[in-house]
Structure formats: structure tokens, C-alpha cells
A and B are shown apart, each in its own frame.
Chain A
Amino acid sequence: MDLYKYDVVIVGSGIAGLRAALQAAWTGRGRLSIAILTKVHAMRSHSVSAEGGMSAVLYPDKTGDSLDLHAYDTVKGSDFLADQDAVELLVKLAPEEVRLLDRLGVPWTREPDGRIAQRPFGGMTIPRTTFAADKTGFFIMSTLYNNVLRFDNVHIYHEHFVTKVVIENGEFRGVVALDLKTGELKAFRAKAGILAAGGSGRMYRLTTMAHSSTGEIYGFALREGLPLKDMEFVQFHPTALVPSGILISEAARGEGGYLVNREGERFMQRYAPQRMELAPRDIISRAIVTEIMEGRGLTDPESGMGHVLLDLRHLGEKKLNERIPFIRELAIRYVGVDPLKEPIPVRPAVHYIMGGIHTDTYGRVLDVGGNWVRGLWAAGEVASVSVHGANRLGSNSLSECAVWGRLTGEEAAKYSMELAEPTIDESFRESVKAEEKRIYDGLLHREGGTVSVYEVRRRMQDIMEDHVGIFRHGSQLGEAAAMLKRLREEARSMRLDDRGKAYNQNLKDLLEVDGMLDAVMAVVAGAYARTESRGAHYRTDYSKRDDANWLKHTLAYMRGGSLELAYVPVRITKWQPEERKY
């Protein structure tokens, strides 16, 4: 197996990963070698699909906005589970990031005087969502990717699927990756690692997220003994296109769109009378599902899916074309509905994982005892810092990815510069050899195998969708845990149909599903244990928030092959929990 040495290795090429690479390169001023490993082409990561915008307090003198107000909105949006020191860091650095992205070339939508325009978003009391039409994520991604190309010492390994994160004695050593093009495994020994591999919407049947958002890295982290934090908090975006799940941005409501039921009623007046369609996502998603369950929804004739309608007709052609042209294009193309003439059929779909790899405020990866796994950071959706707590506000994720990309890139660069050249010692070789054996002998050349990778994936998605959705109940969660455990066993004999080396997508898919099956257990275990309702986690058998017992973060980790739970306190600086009303 080929061995490579780097100062910094970054896993993932979304906004967090590319931003980290850029910052590490700038901090190192040409003195560091940096590798980006990504299972797709680096410019294609799921961040491209972000539409609505990026939150930041840009012109407080003109708008009356303040960092404290942004922080308070975020903490309240999180149902008080966010760590407030992290939230304060987010809102402080977000404006710097928006301006840096401008200087790197993002075509922000502008005011006539040249300032950057901002739009209203759910749960934000003041318009502070910065945007580039409704392709904000795409423009940030292409700008970051382009600007990474200025640095010769950043090497991009497109289509390199990480199969293992090597950690020894509480210290990061490197990763092993499968080069999809050749089918060869490569070992990367590095002083520092940044995990920025994104989320895992594909744990569920209906999601706004890309096919590549599978989240096997969560499973791989568990295998290395790393804890996952707050995985039970899964965000459902209220408005996904029916039946595909394609995202219809919150910007549609930010620009003034209405949600209506079959009777034409703006039903949000019964759920969030003040904020209406701009209440946080957890509240609107529950409202939509309630409308459908109580018979006030509509049914998509083709898929049988229940849905409500997003009405944009009153916005007029100019606003649709200038502010949300992509939404119009998507609705016309995929459901044959022109939002100028007809309302769009929408329903909630999985959109974001609030939980993730347990880190401290600065993105350092922690073990279950709270000790830093030296040399390892995590940033973006894959991490749980936590700034989103139990529910993320729309447009806070792009800020999070940029801010923690920058912080971890800078920290990893400084850390690397202080260390001597990494050695490839016997124990690293052993780890790599064991991984080679697992992939080649254990999977690629293994005889037999009965059940299809895709059937296992479908069954996992069905269990998650039907039992671990927007409304949850203890008995359903218990059932899901049992079913997933059986599926986990069955999946040990997943069948590999493709035995070739070049671009063996079947093998990649198998490795994804294999990692996901461990990751979903953390979601279900956390949800089962948490006997309260908070943010996106709603238990019909425990429908109230319970601060006395549950104002704490869940940690799920593997010990001796089984999943265990532990809890750590929420860090509160300025804002005591209060009733959450909109």
C-alpha cells in the first residue's frame, strides 16, 4: 500500500473542509503540506445544495442588530441546548467570514449602494441572512474551491473514500482511504487531522440531502471509541418538494411565502401566531405533519405522500426571478408547477444532523472523558460543537461551517508547525495492514454474501423514517432499536456484486451502509433515553421540555462492542432557559 505523509489531512470538501484548507494554507505561509481527501470531486460536496443564505450581523448601526441578539435567537432556537460560549464565538466570527468570502469572490446579492443584502429567516428577529440569490451554498463552495487552487501545497485527492481514521494512544495518526479510480488503498500519515465529512440525511428515506450525505464517518468514529453528541436531534426541513425531497429553501418564506392547508388556511397562525411561517423549523415541521394527520393536508396522487402547499404567487414575477430563481426552476422542472401560477406541494424531510462528533468550543475532538484526542479536530455538520443544540436556525449552518473551518484550519496548522516530521512506526503499519486485510480479504475477495447492499439500506431508511421521525414514542423507538440490531447482524453478510478494482461503487456503497448502521444506533439510543421533548426531538409520551433532568448533552460511544450513553452539562453564559414561544 502506498504511504503518504502530510502535515494536515482534511477529510471532506464541503464548506468546512475547504475553508479549513484555505486557513491552514494561509497560516502556514507555504511551509505546510495539506491534503484534502474527499469521496466526491471536491467541488461537488453537499454544501452546494444550500440555498437560502448565511447568517451574520453585518451592519449593526444601520439595522439595529447586535451580536447578542443573534446569539439569543440562536440559543432560543436551540431550545437552550446550545453551548452558549460556542454560540458567542459563532456570532462574533460570522461577519468576518462573510466579508472574507466577499474578498475571495462570492457574488453576494447587493443593495444599490454596494452593501451586502440580507433577508429575514426563521427564528431570526432581524433580517441577517446574507445570500447570493438562492444558490448561496453553491457560490460559497465554488469560490472556496477556486481559491484553494491558488495554493500549490494543498493537494486535493478527489474520490478518495476514507475507510478508517487511525487513532493510537489517544492521538491522531492518519487515515486510510480507498482511491475509487484505481481501487487501491492508500495510507496517509499526518500530524493533524480535521474531520469535515458532513451530515447523513440518507439514514432516512426522505431527505433534502444529496446521495453522498451518508454519514459513515459517524460510524467510523464510534469504532475508534469517539463519542457522538446529541445524535437524537435530527432536523426536518419543513418544505421539501413532494415526492423527491428536493429542498425548497426557507428563503421562499423569508421573502414572504405562505404555508396553506387544503382549506387554503395559513395554518401557522394556530401554531406560532407571532412568527407564522418564520418560526423555527422544528415547530413548522410538526405543524405540517399535524395538519396532514388531522386530515387538512393533501395527497400526492403519484406517491401517496401527504403534503401541504407553499404559496408564492403573491410575491410576483420580479421577486421570484431575482431573489429565488432556483426555487422556481426546481418546482417547474421536477413537479411541473410554476410557483408564479400555482402553489408548490411540500412536506418535511430530513435536512440536518444537529448532533455529531463530540468537540470542545474550538472544534477539538474529545473522548468520553473530555480529553482532547491530540491532533484531531472536527468542523461543520459532522461535528457537534454545539451551536445548534436541539434545533438549528436556518442560515446558521453556513456560518458554522465557515467559522469552524477557519478555526480548526488555523489550529491544526499551528499545531503541525510545532511538531517534528511524523514517523511511520510499526504500530501505524500494523493498523494500515489490518485495514487492508479487512477491505480486500474481508470484503472484496470474500466468498458468499447474501443480502443486497441496497436492500439493507432501504430497510434501514424505512425503520428510521417510520419509527424515528418528527413525532416519536418510546415503544416505537424501542422497536426500531431491536429491528436495527437485527439488520446490523444480517448486514454482516452483505453481498458484493462487483469484484473489480476500478471505480467499484458497489464496494463504496457497502462501506457506507456498514458505517451508517452503527451511526443510526446512536440516533435511536439517544432518542429512546431522552424522555422529554426539546427542539427537533419530540416524544408523544413525554411532550414537555424537562430542564430539571434533561438540560444536558447526550454522548453515545462504543464500549466492548455495545453502545453506551453518558451525559455532559450544557455551558450557559448569559441566557437562562425560558419558555420557547414564537
Chain B
Amino acid sequence: MVPVTLRVRRQVAGEGRWQVYKVEAASEKATVLDLLLKVKEEQDPTLALRYSCRMAICGSCGMVINGRPMLACQTKLSDLGTTDISVEPMWNYPVVKDLVTDMGEFFDKHRRVKPYMLRREEEIFEGGDEFRQRPEDVERYLDFAYCIFCGLCYSACPRVAENPEFLGPQALGQAARWIFDSRDRGAQERMRIADGEDGLWSCHYIGSCSEVCPRGVEPAFAIQLLKMRAMRP
């Protein structure tokens, strides 16, 4: 057993405070999510946090752990190198309660880049055959398709903090995911949305989005690719 001190940022109805919990971890392999659930089930059922798959694929449990946006289920004690842990809700989002943030605007921005197959709809819904792609065609967009909508990139982005109108790394990364898919026909339409002051050009290539992405999506790289495309004569 490993004794751990958890400092958790609580917030109910606008009032914020830090609360300290002492909890025993089964081992160094315990995740921050394991510990928070232990607190919730054994000490304080009023603590609110999102979680579901506990295998870093559903994107629910993004939070700021020891000053860095991370997935709680993906972060082990041994990764942190300390048993003093602070946990706060993701930055750049309004807080609903405790560690639960309001992701409504984040989802809206994602929707704005038309993150779906743009082609004649009859062809999509009524066409019989598949659209063929060679393995190398898949490689062009696959890394960008790993986005799990966790919101960590948006939380880590200093430009989102400065310009709340900025579409942000997730939405722009997803614009790239579809623009580089050989089956899609909506590149121009999407570029018109992305290529603006609150779009691509709000990004100063700081790169914190790519650094915190738990799935290696590299939104910063995606945005640079789109900038190059925008500048093409």
C-alpha cells in the first residue's frame, strides 16, 4: 500500500476551494482515476468527475493533474514520481461542478468545421460499394482520426485562453482529418471555415496541444499543414 495525498479543486455554485483527501493506493500502478474513485466510494460521494472506459479511449476523464492536462485513467502514480497529487478541472472551460467542465462550446466548435464526409449525400447513403483507399491514402489522415474529444489540447492552449473565439486545436485538427481523407470532397468548404483570424492564424505554433494529446494526434502539426495549404497559390 502506498499512502497518497490528493488535493482536489472542488467547486459548487461558483465557490471554489481545495479539499485534501488521504488515500491508500494498492501500488505504484494505481491511476489517478483509481484514487479519485476510491475517495468517491469510500470517503466523499459528493465529489463529481467524469469517467467511463478507464482505458484511455472514451475521453471522459481529462483534468489538470499536478499542473498538466492529462487523462486521469492514463496517469499512474509511477508516472508522476510523487505521492502528493493536485487535481483541478481542465483549464479554458467553465466548471459545472468540481472536476466536471462544460464542454458545450468545445463541441460546437468541432461541429463548425463540418467534421463529416462531404460528398453528395445520395452517394454516401444510397451508394452500394465502398470508396476504395490504398493503405498509403489511409496513412495521410489516420493519425488525425485518433481524436477522442477529450478536450485536453483545448485546455492546454494558451491561445484559446487569450482568444475565446479561436476555433482551437481540436476543431482545426479535425478539419485536417477530413481534408486529408481521399474519400472526402469538402476540402475547399472546410478551408474557408478554417482560414481566418479566429481559425488557423490564431495559432502561434506553441505546440502545447500536441504535447498533451493522449492519442498522439498532433493538432499543432495538422494546423501547420493547413496553413501551408492556405498559402498555396
Contacts and interface: CB of A to CB of B under 8 A. Distances in A.
A48 B57 contact: yes
Contacts of A168: none
Contact of B52 (A44, A135, A458, A502): A44
Given A99-B130, A103-B183, A107-B142, A138 B148 contact: yes
Contact of A246 (B52, B55, B103, B124): B55
Given A107-B142, A107-B145, A149-B115, A330 B55 contact: yes
B194 to A, nearest CB: 16
A71 B61 CA distance: 40
Contact of B57 (A112, A135, A334): A135
A205 to B, nearest CB: 13
Interface stretch (A139-147, A379-387, A428-436, A526-534): A139-147
A96 B130 CA distance: 9
A90 B114 CA distance: 32
A110 interface: yes
A502 B116 contact: no
Contact of B45 (A40, A114, A146, A453): A453
A110 B133 contact: yes
B147 A48 contact: no
A333 B12 contact: no
A330 B31 CA distance: 13
Interface in B104-121: 107, 110-111, 114-117, 119, 121
B149 to A, nearest CB: 5
A211 B96 contact: no
Interface string B1-40: 0000000000011000000000000110100000000001
Contacts of A43: 59, 148-149
A357 to B, nearest CB: 22
A102 B131 contact: yes
A362 interface: no
B188 interface: no
B224 to A, nearest CB: 22
A49 B12 contact: no
Interface string A313-336: 000000000000010001001111
B145 A142 contact: yes
A138 B142 CA distance: 13
Contacts of A181: 96, 102
Counting chain B CB atoms within 10 Å of each CB, which of A112, A453, A506 scores highest?
A506
Interface string B40-67: 1110111011111111111110000000
Contact of B29 (A44, A46, A334): A334
B48 to A, nearest CB: 5
Contact of B48 (A49, A99, A453, A505): A505
A147 B119 CA distance: 12
B2 to A, nearest CB: 12
A102 B130 contact: yes
A506 B45 contact: yes
A547 interface: no
B130 A44 contact: no
A212 interface: yes
A54 to B, nearest CB: 13
A503 B89 CA distance: 14
A271 interface: no
A244 interface: yes
Contacts of B127: 103
B111 A103 contact: no
Nearest to A241: B55
A1 interface: no
A244 B174 CA distance: 32
Nearest to B181: A105
B128 interface: yes
B123 interface: yes
B91 interface: no
Nearest to B37: A211
Contacts of B148: 43, 48, 138, 142
A40 B115 CA distance: 20
A503 B48 contact: yes
A111 B149 CA distance: 29
A103 B135 contact: no
A150 interface: yes
A44 B58 contact: yes
Nearest to B41: A454
A244 B54 CA distance: 9
A342 interface: no
Contacts of B138: 107-110
Contacts of A142: 145, 147-149
A503 B41 contact: no
Interface string B74-104: 1010000000000000000000111010110
Interface string A482-522: 00000000000000011010111110010000000000000
26 contacts: A41-B107, A49-B53, A99-B128, A99-B129, A99-B130, A102-B131, A103-B119, A109-B138, A110-B134, A112-B134, A115-B132, A135-B146, A142-B148, A146-B115, A150-B116, A244-B54, A246-B55, A247-B55, A326-B57, A330-B55, A334-B55, A336-B29, A498-B45, A500-B97, A503-B96, A506-B45
Given A114-B132, A146-B116, 4 more contacts: A105-B181, A108-B138, A114-B134, A211-B53
Interface of A: 26, 40-41, 43-46, 48-49, 96, 98-100, 102-105, 107-116, 135, 138-139, 142, 146-147, 149-150, 158, 181, 210-212, 244, 246-247, 302-303, 326, 330, 333-336, 452-454, 458, 497-498, 500, 502-506, 509
